[in-house]
Amino acid sequence: MPTQVTFSRNVFIPLTNACRNRCHYCGFRSENPRLMNPLEVEDLLRMAKNAKEALFTFGEKSEVYKSVKKSLSSLGYGSFLDYVVEMNRKAIELGKLPHTNAGVLSYSEIKKLKPWNASLGLMLEQAVELPCHVESPGKKPEERIRMIKDAGKLEIPFTTGILVGIGESFEEDLYSLEVIAELHSNYDHIQECIIQNFSPKEGTPMEDWEPPSTERLLKLVREARKILPKDVEVQIPPNLVQDIRPFLNAGARDIGGISEVTIDHINPEAPWPSIEKIERSLNGEFVLKERLPVYPKYIKRRWYGVMCESLIDKLSDGNGYAKLEVSEV
């Protein structure tokens, strides 16, 4: 019998490319940032007819830019977080479950997002300080660990992971995985851990860096499967590796969100493979199973945001996975 591999149909919504951090590998952040307006967000949500997840991603603490504050004020919002909540609400209204990656947030900010999200996310990246983060206050390991802990205290299903090849050693990769394992052991809220390879971006300080080898990534997936608790899935982004099968054979069992209408705005040079192409590549060894942005374990616990409840009931099957056919919302 083929082994099950999960994925989510999503729409990628980059609300703003303003960010207080200046990570040396990032091509997303801009010195002349813009803010998506509500009509743009709504258009994307309506275009993504098959998506069940609305992935909200943006730079951290965007209000450090006066232009962003001015744009928010002109739209009638007192803060960027107020705007995020409203866009979360719009997503739910249009039949999409929000999953928000907001960067480092305070406990009260996480609590404000919780009702409007099926799950939240924050990459740990690395649990050690690195030169590539010297201009990035939001990448201090203690700050990111603190936020992941706070999400656990609030019983929020959470996605995290490591970014591989940004100047850390292999032993530090393993240490970062051990930190994630301990966080889950304490709070039981981490549903998946992404093993994401660094991909160099033109025009960044690290544009000439060598990305990590396939061998290193495969070894990390195997080690992650040993280090992480069994109920934390190991995820590999299918647009950042040439062939997903070796990673599935190494222990990965999730390939994340795939959008049919939007690019990966963090890695725009790496187009999503179609779900059909991935299925063909699996050669019957594995079978894809669509999930929601909140995993079945947490659907059964009802840990998701209260404002998502009726939509989750509508979109999920009896086992907590995505229904194959859903009536109009």
> Model confidence over 22-32: pLDDT tens digits?
999 999 999 99
Q: Taking the CA of residue 246 as centre, how many other CA atoms within 13 Å lie in the half-sphere pointing to its CB?
A: 10
* Residue 14 pLDDT class (50, 70, 90 cuts): very high
* Residue 56 pLDDT class (50, 70, 90 cuts): very high
pLDDT digits (tens, 9 = 90+) for 281-304: 998 899 999 999 999 999 999 999
Whole-prediction pTM:
0.95
Q: Residue 263 falls within a domain, yes or no?
A: yes
Q: Which residues contact 40 (CB under 8 A, 6 or more apart)?
A: none
Q: Residue 64 falls within a domain, yes or no?
A: yes
Q: Residue 149 falls within a domain, yes or no?
A: yes
Nearest-angstrom CA–CA distance, 246 and 254: 13
Cα distance between the two ends of the chain: 35
Q: What is the mean pLDDT of the chain?
A: 96
pLDDT digits (tens, 9 = 90+) for 94-148: 999 999 999 999 999 999 999 999 999 999 999 999 999 999 999 999 999 999 9
User: Do 262 and 54 form a contact (C-beta atoms < 8 A)?
Assistant: no
- Tokens encoding 281: 């590549």
* Residue 327 pLDDT class (50, 70, 90 cuts): low
User: Do 160 and 148 form a contact (C-beta atoms < 8 A)?
Assistant: yes
User: Do 200 and 209 form a contact (C-beta atoms < 8 A)?
Assistant: yes
| Structural domain range at position 235 | 3-315
Residue 204, domain CATH: 3.20.20.70
Average pLDDT score over residue span 10-32: 95
The predicted structure's pLDDT at residue 288: 96
The predicted structure's pLDDT at residue 329: 45
- Domains of the chain: total: 1
Average pLDDT score over residue span 57-64: 94
Say if residue 1's pLDDT is above 90: no
Q: Residue 182 falls within a domain, yes or no?
A: yes
Q: Residue 320 falls within a domain, yes or no?
A: no
Average pLDDT score over residue span 303-307: 98
Q: State whether the Cα torsion 217-222-227-230 is positive or negative.
A: positive
Say if residue 328's pLDDT is above 80: no
Q: Residue 305 falls within a domain, yes or no?
A: yes
pLDDT digits (tens, 9 = 90+) for 215-256: 999 999 999 999 999 999 999 999 999 999 999 999 999 999
Average pLDDT score over residue span 180-203: 97
Q: Residue 25 falls within a domain, yes or no?
A: yes
- Tokens encoding 83: 């705007």
Q: Residue 106 falls within a domain, yes or no?
A: yes
